[in-house]
Structure 1
Amino acid sequence: MSSPQLDSPAKPAATPAAKGRTPAVIRLLVLAAFVVILNETIMINAIPGLMSALHISEQTAQWLSTAFMLTMAAVIPATGWFLQRVTTRRAYATAMGLFLLGTALAIVAPSFEVLLGARIIQAAGTAVMMPLLMTTLMRVVPEEDRGRVMGNVTLAMSVAPAMGPAVSGVILQFGSWRMLFVVVLPIAALITWGGLKRLEDIGEPQASSIDWFSVLSAAAGFGGLVYGLSRFEGGDVRVAVAIVTAGLVTIAVFVVRQLSLQKRGVPLLDLRTLRQRTYTVALILMSLAFMAMLGSMILLPLYLQSVRGLSALETGLLVMPGGLAMGLLGPTVGRLFDKYGGRVLVIPGAIGIMLALTGFTQVSMTMPYWQILGLHALLMVSLAATFTPVFTLGLGAVPPHLYSHGSSILSTLQQVAAAFGTALVVTVMSARADALTSAGVADTLATLDGMRLAFIIGAVLSVAVVITALLLPARAANAGEFKGIGH
């Protein structure tokens, strides 16, 4: 097969959307992405029920979330190549077909092993959906409207994982863990049918060969890194460090391989996107902010249920306002970005993240629930003000023929940041709690102190978010200025 024509943008099969209107293709993809990404965190509240129903330990049950993240990290690096090679409709059908298959299998899963396989199939579909959405958006939406449309994408990318625990907490009040998949299946099937009925192909596929060594090294490297980070949760730290190190070494091999393939114009994941300063700064900021968000998503439910004694439903209802505020503000933030640029949103957003996480360092046995709700809402609103401009600025700085690769790198780093943030806060919390318990402190107080220390780590990380925000420009430089870098 011929080499991909990476230095010439794909010919559009559809004209860009009229100014001020969100293309139908984007609305369909946002809806589909919301449903599939919601499943990444929907299992968090189902762990106790699964342990009892399937007779498994908590550590084993956690694999249902870990394997989802691991699969995403392993598959996403290959999506840049995949999206260039197939039509929009075929990519959509592949993503939703895999997701529906995994969901149906989960409903009837007779054992943990089958359920784990179902989650892996779901994750493979989800891994294709997010880069597909981002790549299509950058191709069909005029530059002056991207902030507004990206605000809608924020709903799928950020609010869906934030809402997962809340949604599952409500559903689990009415049935077993299987209900989570029973509810999702018909909704996903309807969205799939509607999408295939209305979706148009955007751009022309480019025939290309694939380097299987790159595929395997990407899967082993990024998958191994996420798996190693997950092992810090209650596992042997030395084993976790060894796996993380092996993952990093494999990623280094993958990077060297891509640099070699770029000279021939056939990389699996084109790293030339990283030579654009705005895109690289946006990646760093997004990773730090995602670590802060996922860290708080793990710590807050633990605090509310383990320390304060709330039920899963009560916990879900307490954090739901923040998640809803984040989603509802997405389009507004996007319109403000189109009008004023990124800095007036990102810098206050980064400061809000820092203030919220600093507030959480004061959690106690008696902190008022309204204060917890307020801090969580501030965190979610601040993340909304940050994510939309960062994604838009970052991808806007990438030339059109590298959109699929830029979105694949962005989505891969999201998974790595999520795993790193989770491992960091759980390890810090557990180490501090164990040390205090050994010194004779009561379990609950030891756990509470461990959570405070973990929130302090998050607050320190948020300072880096503020510093990185200051490096972003108000608007992305014209991607056309990127010429000549690929050679």
Structure 2
Amino acid sequence: MTAPIETGDIAEFEDEFTSSANPGRTPLVIKLLVAATFVVILNETTLVNALPRLMTDFNISESTAQWSLTVFMLTMAAVIPVTGWFLQRVTTRTAYATAMITFSIGTLIAALAPTFGILLVGRVVQAGGTAVMMPLLMTTLMTVVAAEDRGRVMGQVTLAMSVAPALGPTVSGVLLHFGSWRLIFVVVLPIALLVGFFGFRALENVGETTTSPVSWLSVVLAAGGFSTFVFGLSKVGNADWPEPALYIGGGVILIAAFAVYQLFLQRSERPLMDLRTLKHRNYTVSLVLMSAAFMAFLGSMILLPLYLQNLRGLSELQTGLLVMPGGLAMGLLGPRVGKIYDRIGSRPLVIPGSIFMVVLMFGLSRIGAETPYALILGLHVALMASLAMIFTPVFTIGLGDLAPHLYSHGSSLLGTLQQVSGAIGTAMLVVIMTNRSEHLAESGHTQGEAFMGGLQWAFATGAIIGIVVVAMALLLPSKVEAPEGAPAAH
């Protein structure tokens, strides 16, 4: 005979999903979403090492092969602005299932792709699923975790955000050592299916849904504007002017039209992306800080592998193994930094972290062709540690400054600007490196000296961008008061 379910059992089960009834415990819903987010974000960088294989198998040029990376970024930029509205309209389980099914279908298409065009279709579908996961995770976290415990839990989110991209090239390097580039997708697919299946079974709905209609004009303006802008940035350095400028300018015009139209729709409470989030000072400061930090962070992630492979002659696997400790350090420090933030606030973490970031970027700008690998490893690990001191507190303060009904819109805008600022930073630093290298080569320097000179200028530019991070850090409060309606400790 089955024992009756006691009221206390139900409460205990609900506590597992809802916020801080048990301070110091991470809700199960967050653990499930972190695991899923880790899987989908890991895939974003796994093809970095596979480009030479794609060029050989499909008989395509390097610029064409790069589209396997570019199209993923373009899709993310186009889809993320829609997620704010989408997450308010559907349940947590529906959003999760949509993201994981979409990602798995894209992975299957890519694994079986007979042509490069079909591979790109798979990457587009994959990115569509990935674009939903991070805003879903952030919105759910802000909904179910009390303000005094958010730093610790947000630190666990950093694990998915930082370790996954860092492990992508390493994982692909190992898989490429044993087989075809298709092995990357073949290995990821069953993991995604298992995480999606068991996560969906255990997941509970969080928060309430709304029934606001979608503004299709907003969808077109957002998707067209952000994807065109990012596409223009991807063409910088790879195409003759004014082609990149035309795409960038067209994207800016569409984004401006999108913003104006959202302000109009706010009058009737029907915006696709609610820009009233920008009226919250701490959120806006956090947005500027994170955008500048991602410009420097993602730009440097591109530069260091170029240096290690093109100048030092390391293989893809060796490069991945050398940069992996930095990503691991950043992810593993996230929860620790979050706990410290919950106790002492953001300023003792973010201000020193941003200063260290600038100093370490300048340090990387002084490396040369004979710099010991141990020193490069140490600089990279220290840089990732300094970023861990920044990201977790700033995410927590920025979204914590918003009212609950703005969480999904704030997460969506933050995710969109991460993609855009990462594209800006990558394009800017690569162009600076290329132009400086060409100038030095024309002045009579050897190819290695010219490349090194360009790389040093690019890292120095990243350090200069970091000064904006320091300035914004000085404007942040230590903590924010939880808005009315936000979850509180039990």
Task: Provide the C-alpha distance between the structure 2 equivalents of 1:304 and 1:291, rounded to a whole number of angstroms.
Answer: 21
CA gap of 1:408–1:166, structure 2 versus 1, over 3 A, is same
Q: State the match for 1:274 in structure 2.
A: 278
Q: What does the per-residue CA deviation read over 1:68-103, in whole Å, with 9 as the maximum and x for residues that have no partner?
A: 111011011111111111110000000000000000
Shifted more, 24-33 versus 38-47: the winner is: 38-47
Q: Compute the displacement of 1:481 (Å).
A: 10
CA distance in 1, matches of 2:372, 2:263: 54
Mark the runs of 5 or more structure 2 residues left unpaired by the alignment: 1-14
Asked whether the 8 Å contact 1:13–1:204 carries over to 2, the reply is: no
Which of 89, 93, 109 is the equivalent residue of 1:85?
A: 89
Q: Does 1:438 align with 2:442?
A: yes
Task: Give the structure 1 partner of residue 218 of structure 2.
Answer: 214
Correspondence 1:462 to 2:466: yes
**Residue in 2 that maps onto 1:177:** 181
- Aligned to 1:193, which of 193, 197, 200? 197
Q: CA deviation at 1:267?
A: 0.4
How far has the Cα of 1:13 moved from its partner? Answer: 13
Structure 1 CA distance for aligned equivalents of residues 230 and 425 of structure 2: 11
Partner of 2:162: 158
2:12 corresponds to which residue? none
Q: How far off is 1:49 after superposition?
A: 1.2
Cα-to-partner distance string for 1:375-422 (whole Å, 9 max, x where unaligned): 000111111111000000000000001100000000000100110111
Determine if contact 1:89/1:196 at 8 Å carries over to the other structure.
yes
Q: Distance in 1 between matches of 2:16 and 2:95?
A: 15
Determine if contact 2:78/2:223 at 8 Å carries over to the other structure: yes
Letter in 2 for 1:323: G
Q: What does 1:339-418 correspond to in 2, within 5 Å?
A: 339-418=343-422
Letter in 1 for 2:19: P
Rounded to whole Å, the distance in 1 between the matches of 2:398 and 2:147 is: 13
List runs of 5+ in structure 1 lacking aligned partners.
1-11, 483-487
Question: Of the candidates 117, 120, 124, which is equivalent to residue 120 of structure 1?
Answer: 124
Report the TM-score, using the length of structure 2 for normalisation: 0.94
Counterpart-to-counterpart distance in 2, 1:47 and 1:197? 37
State the partner residue of 1:34: 38
CA distance in 2, matches of 1:417, 1:168: 25
Kept in 1, the 8 Å contact 2:166–2:328? The answer is no
1:103·1:181 contact (CA, 8 Å) conserved in 2? yes
Whole-angstrom CA distance in 1 between matches of 2:167 and 2:367? 22
Tell me, what secondary structure is at the counterpart of 1:236? coil
Name the residue aligned to 1:247: 251
Taking structure 1 as reference, are residues 284 and 239 closer, same or farther at Cα in structure 2, changes over 3 Å only? same
Q: Is the 8 A contact 1:77 1:269 kept in 2?
A: yes
Alignment of 1:309-328 (within 5 A): 309-328=313-332
Which moves more between the two structures, 48-57 or 160-169?
160-169
Match of 1:23 in 2: 27
Q: Distance in 2 between matches of 1:212 and 1:112?
A: 31
Cα distance between partner residues in 2 of 1:379 and 1:445: 25
For 2:433, the aligned partner's letter is M
Match of 1:96 among 96, 100, 119: 100
Structure 2 counterpart of 1:452, from 449, 456, 469: 456
What amino acid does structure 1 have at the position aligned with 2:327? G
Please list the CA deviations of residues 351-376 of structure 1 after superposition, one character each: whole Å capped at 9, or x if unmatched.
12111101111121100101100000
Which residue type is aligned with residue 428 of structure 1? I
Q: Which runs of 4+ in 1 moved over 6 A?
A: none
Q: Who is 1:7 aligned against?
A: none
Specify which of 219, 231, 234 is matched with residue 235 of structure 2.
231
C-alpha distance in structure 1 between counterparts of 2:131 and 2:256, whole Å: 22
2:161 maps to amino acid: M
- Report if the CA contact (8 A) 1:14-1:203 is conserved: no
Which of the numbers 420, 426, 451 marks the counterpart of 2:424? 420
Give, in whole Å, the separation in 2 of the partners of 1:219 and 1:189.
Answer: 28
The CA deviation string for residues 147-170 of structure 1, in whole angstroms up to 9 with x for no partner, is 000000011122222222222222
Partner of 2:291: 287
Which position in structure 1 is the counterpart of 2:140? 136
The residue type equivalent to 2:375 in the other structure is Q
Matched residue count:
471
Contact in 1 for aligned 2:18/2:145 (Cα 8 Å): no
Distance in 1 (CA, whole Å) between partners of 2:112 and 2:228 is: 29
Question: Does the 8 Å CA contact 2:17/2:29 hold for their aligned counterparts?
Answer: no
The answer to whether the Cα contact below 8 Å between 1:258 and 1:268 also exists between their aligned partners in 2 is yes
Q: Deviations over 1:223-276 (max 9, x none)?
A: 111111111132223211111111111111000000000011110000000000
Measure the CA separation in 2 of the matches of 1:379 and 1:167.
22
- Given residue 341 of structure 1, which amino acid in structure 2 is its aligned partner? G
Aligned match for 1:471, one of 462, 471, 475:
475
Partners of 1:231 and 1:237 within 8 A in 2:
no
Query: How far apart are 1:437 and its partner, in Å?
Result: 2.0
Rounded to whole Å, the distance in 2 between the matches of 1:13 and 1:309 is: 50
> Residues 170 and 316 of structure 1 are in contact (CA less than 8 Å); yes or no, is this contact kept in structure 2?
no
Q: Which amino acid aligns with 2:247?
A: I
Q: Which residue of 2 aligns with 1:54?
A: 58
Aligned partners of 1:297, 1:167: CA distance in 2, in Å? 16
CA separation in 2, counterparts of 1:174 and 1:98? 28
Residues in 2 aligned to 1:343 and 1:158: alpha-carbon distance in whole angstroms: 22
Q: 1:456 to 1:66 in 2, by over 3 A?
A: same
**1:101 is matched by which residue type in structure 2?**
I
Measure how far apart 1:15 and its partner are.
4.2
SS in 1 for 2:19: coil
- 1:440 offset after TM fit, Å? 2.9
What is the CA distance between 1:50 and its match in structure 2? 1.0
Q: Distance in 1 between matches of 2:115 and 2:459?
A: 37
Q: Give distance in 2, aligned partners of 1:16 and 1:360.
A: 42
Identity of aligned residues (%): 59
Provide the secondary structure at the position in 2 that maps to 1:234.
coil
Q: Given residue 79 of structure 1, which amino acid in structure 2 is its aligned partner? A: T
CA distance in 2, matches of 1:418, 1:457: 14
How do 1:286-305 and structure 2 match up within 5 A? 286-305=290-309
Aligned CA-pair RMSD: 1.5
Shift of 1:431: 0.9
Preserved contact between residue 13 and residue 203 of structure 1 (Cα < 8 Å): no
Q: What is the SS of the residue equivalent to 1:410?
A: helix
